[in-house]
Structure 1
Amino acid sequence: MLVTPDKPGADDPGNGRRVGLDVGTVRIGVAVSDRDAKLATPLETVARETGFKDRDKADIDRLLEIIDEYDAVEIVVGLPRNLKGHGSTSVKHAKEIAFRINRRLVGAGRSVPVRMADERLTTVAATAALRASGVSEKAGRKFIDQAAAVEILQSWLDARAANNQELHP
């Protein structure tokens, strides 16, 4: 099944912080942007607790705390697809977390868009960046999810900036 990610566009919420998420089966990497939405930085790694049939657990609660703490105007969740653009089994996990966050935000009366962004090769890029900075693979494991979240969010921010440039040259 071909899975299509969202793209930054006309429904952009404007300036403000974005939160980027790299959803895995064990951990969720979190990154945050600056207020001008230009630069993504790593924030933390949240232990994944909520399964498909569970009620929301501490991981979802923590993600919502981060969204509130940073007054995020947009949430960007990595959509893990293969190189041909097809969804992997991890797509279900990413969509589930995105759905739960959106449901809780809507339930709280907050209209913060939750986007699905292409994350192909972000873990590969994050691993290469950590290795290039001298971090061993073993030591890097606790940071790789954050680094992947940075790659996801920074790609979104860059595409957003390019799109805004096209709309307002």
Structure 2
Amino acid sequence: MEKNHYRVIGIDHGTVRIGIAMSDETGTIAFGKQAIPNDNKSLNKIIDLVKENNAVKIIIGYPLNLKGNKTAQTAEVDKFIASLKEMLNKQSVDAAVIEWDERFTSKMALDSMLESGMKKKNRQNKSNLDIISAAIMLQSYLDSSGGK
């Protein structure tokens, strides 16, 4: 039985940068794609990626504190999600936007960079942390959803 081919995009929203990850065509494996500045062009760049890669879902890292409550950053992500959904709708792009708990992804990304032997200079590059965080968050979603 042949598996459907589609991609899922993962977003790690930050105040300065947005980390972006993407799944393979089977929606099974996540890999880091890029980090883009969080500016007035970021939504268009994300929507272009969705269109170019025929992504069917956009998984947004949703920041909660250790008790599972919303934080000041959550409000920023809520605004970002609302703007993204509005632009997707205006451009008739059919991609679901899903919030996903991102707790501990930055810590896991930092640990991953250390374990991989990444040079200190590269670990200090915040873009790398954002990209790896997005990939870890997206992989968590893909693993829990069984590639669906």
TM-score of the two chains, using structure 1 as the length reference: 0.80
CA distance in 2, matches of 1:93, 1:147: 21
Normalized per residue, the structure richer in strand is 2
Runs of 4+ in 1 over 6 A off after TM superposition: none
- 1:35 is displaced (CA, Å) by 1.3
Give unmatched runs, 5+ long, in structure 2. none
In structure 2, the residue matched to 1:128 is 111
1:114 matched to 2:97? The reply is yes
The residue identity in structure 1 corresponding to 2:59 is: V
TM-score computed with the length of structure 2 as normaliser:
0.90
Give the Cα separation in 1 of the matches to 2:26 and 2:59: 16
Give the whole-Å Cα distance in 2 for the aligned partners of 1:136 and 1:98. 34
d(CA) in 2 for partners of 1:94, 1:69: 24
Q: Distance in 2 between matches of 1:81 and 1:138?
A: 29
Residues 38-47 or 89-98, more deviating: 89-98
**Matched residues in 1 for 2:58 and 2:127: separation?**
22
* Corresponding letter in the other structure for 2:131: Q
Structure 1 residues without counterparts, runs of 5 or longer: 1-13, 50-56, 165-169
Q: Could you give the per-residue CA deviations for residues 25-76 of structure 1, whole angstroms, max 9, x where no partner exists? A: 0000000001111000000001011xxxxxxx21111111111111100000
1:52 is aligned to none
Per-residue CA deviation, residues 83-131 of structure 1 (Å, 9 max, x unaligned), is 1101111112222222111111111122211000010100000010011
Which residue in 2 is equivalent to 1:146?
131
Q: Distance in 1 between matches of 2:77 and 2:116?
A: 28
Name the Cα RMSD after superposition.
1.5
Q: Distance in 1 between matches of 2:107 and 2:129?
A: 10
Q: Which residue matches 2:11?
A: 21
Q: Report how many aligned residue pairs link the two structures.
A: 143
Aligned residue in 2 for 1:83: 66
Identity, % of aligned pairs?
A: 28
Q: 2:17·2:127 contact (CA, 8 Å) conserved in 1?
A: no
Partner of 2:37: 47
**CA shift for structure 1 position 15:** 5.0
